[in-house]
Structure 1
Amino acid sequence: MKLSNIIVVGALAIGAAMVLLPFFWMISISLKPQGEIFTADLRILPQHPTLMNYWKAIVETDIPLYLLNGVIVTGSILVLQLVVTIPCAYALAHRDFMGRKLFFGAIVAALLVPFHVTAIPIFIGFAQLKILNTYTALILPFVSTAFGLFLLRQAYAQIPDEIIDAARVDGMSEMGIAWRIGFPLCMPTVIAFAIFSVTAHWNDLFWPLIATTDPDLATPPRGILFFRDQESGDDVGPLMAGAALITAPLIIGFLMAQKRFTQGLASTGLKG
């Protein structure tokens, strides 16, 4: 093996170790009894592994409720995003109308604006509408997505015009072409976008922390904050167990869709 290859592989291994170390430490602590967590010496692996922390996280807290809220919020956001984004992406890619390039340029510009910039105006508007502390407040701000429009527009642009024209000749409506022709052809990109969307909103703490105060509406990251113990600080063992339970669905989902995810990113070119 060449020296350059050894250096590249070594750098990748170090980078992977730095990324995976916090997850490994989280799992290790979640399997340790309370007496092994707070010790003077550093012990990476638990000497007496236990699942008691997981049992406590599930039984003595509302982790199942937080997971359910996460499924409701992220699932609703994804479905509404696709309902809005698919027709818009198709129109930007295969319909000729005044200002199309201007609209696409605005979408690209919107990618540069973080959500935190618009969070305060959205919060004030929701407060005036009296919809804070509801599922609507957690879902509505993310229904329109510049990233999704950009990604899916690029995917729809890869569909040959001949296929679109043939569908029109057969009498199919534009909405039918977008969903019945384009959607299946763009499925790898849709899956890639779905993974990005679900991961981002499943792990989001910023907006749920602002928009909700009701524990019954807490999403998984917001719910972890309710592990607070006023006497001894954070209950670290169940806290790490809860974090592991919250992270597990994302890891399992990504592993199941990994092939389509890679295909979706690879097939999304920059066709004008």
Structure 2
Amino acid sequence: MPDEIFTRPFGLPAFSNYLANVQLAFGTAPLARFMFNGFAVTALILGFQIAIAIPCAYALTKCRLPFSGLLFGLVLAALCVPIQVPMLPIYIGLASIGALNTYFSLIVPFVASPFAIFLFRQQIQSYPTDIVRAARLDGFSEFEIITRLIVPSLRPSIAAFAVFSITTHWNDLYWPMISISDINMATPPLGLLYFRDGDIGANYGALMMAAIMAIIPMMLVYFAAQRQFVRGMAVTGFR
């Protein structure tokens, strides 16, 4: 409880206080809705990023594209542009079509990830080209080559990128604060701001419990993908 935080800063509160803070955290603001929004947004962003990045990375390495070096240079250039730079025109565009306060507005600015293209290209580049050529001679389409040969070899890199992507977009406060004004569309970081309103702003126990609930999914994601994450960083040359 609030008085225990200031009178016993290094003591452990009673277990009943934990339960009371959980009930207060879920009862004061729609915390369950915030968590659902976070899961939906991060999962959809990750799915679109992987679906777009893998074919792009494959095309840059295993297909004869005109100006492939220039295209890869544009990918590297995009890595140098902070996400905050294009946000104003994106916001204006979404506002002009009435797409603010929707999942679409939370997802669409991030569906194309230059980092994912670069990461997957690093590993696909080491994939034997002779196997790709043999698959083409056997009648494999480019889609079958990607799904049956390339994707299984990218599992460590996909797991590594998934940790980066999920952590980044789950914890993102900048863009949701700009594009979302409806409490029912808030993601967990934005939702925590609603705990500052009214009396709940002084109840640090409920506020910290809500923060813990928002952190737990990220811890589980990392522990679940820890081995693949480390392997993916080693395979792609990151340290």
TM over 0.5: yes
Q: Which has the higher contact order (CA 8 A, sep 6+)?
A: 2
**Does the 8 A contact of 1:126 with 1:137 survive in 2?**
yes
Any idea what SS the aligned residue of 1:96 has? coil
1:46 partnered with 2:37: no
- Report the counterpart of residue 252 of structure 1 in structure 2: 220
Q: Distance in 2 between matches of 1:216 and 1:232?
A: 18
User: Are positions 1:155 and 2:123 aligned together?
Assistant: yes
- Partners in 2 of 1:247 and 1:197 — Cα distance? 15
Gaps in structure 1 of 5+ consecutive residues: 1-32
Cα distance, 1:232 vs structure 2: 7.0
What's the Cα RMSD here? 1.5
With over 3 angstroms needed to count, the CA separation of the structure-2 counterparts of 1:94 and 1:232, relative to structure 1, is closer
Structure 2: which 5+ residue stretches go unaligned? Answer: none
* Match runs of 1:121-160 below 5 Å: 121-160=89-128
Q: 1:47 to 1:132 in 2, by over 3 A?
A: closer
Q: Is the 8 A contact 1:158 1:269 kept in 2?
A: no
Q: Equivalences for 1:70-219 in 2 at 5 Å?
A: 70-219=38-187
Q: What is the aligned length? A: 236
Q: Is the 8 A contact 2:25 2:209 kept in 1?
A: yes
TM-superposed deviation, 1:235: 2.5
Q: CA deviation at 1:45?
A: 3.3
Provide TM-score, normalisation by structure 1.
0.83
2:35 and 2:200 map into 1 onto residues whose CA distance is 26
Q: Which amino acid aligns with 1:249?
A: P
Using the size of structure 2 for normalisation, the TM-score is: 0.94
Deviation at 1:97? 1.2
Determine the C-alpha separation between the residues in 2 that align with 1:159 and 1:152. 11
The alpha carbon displacement at 1:59 in A equals 3.1
Could you tell me how far 1:47 is from its partner in structure 2? 4.6
Identity of aligned residues (%): 42
Tell me the alpha carbon deviations over residues 130-161 of structure 1, each in whole angstroms, 9 at most, x when there is no partner.
11111100000000011111101112112111
- Give distance in 2, aligned partners of 1:193 and 1:122: 24
1:60 to partner: Cα distance:
3.1
What amino acid is the match of 1:241? M
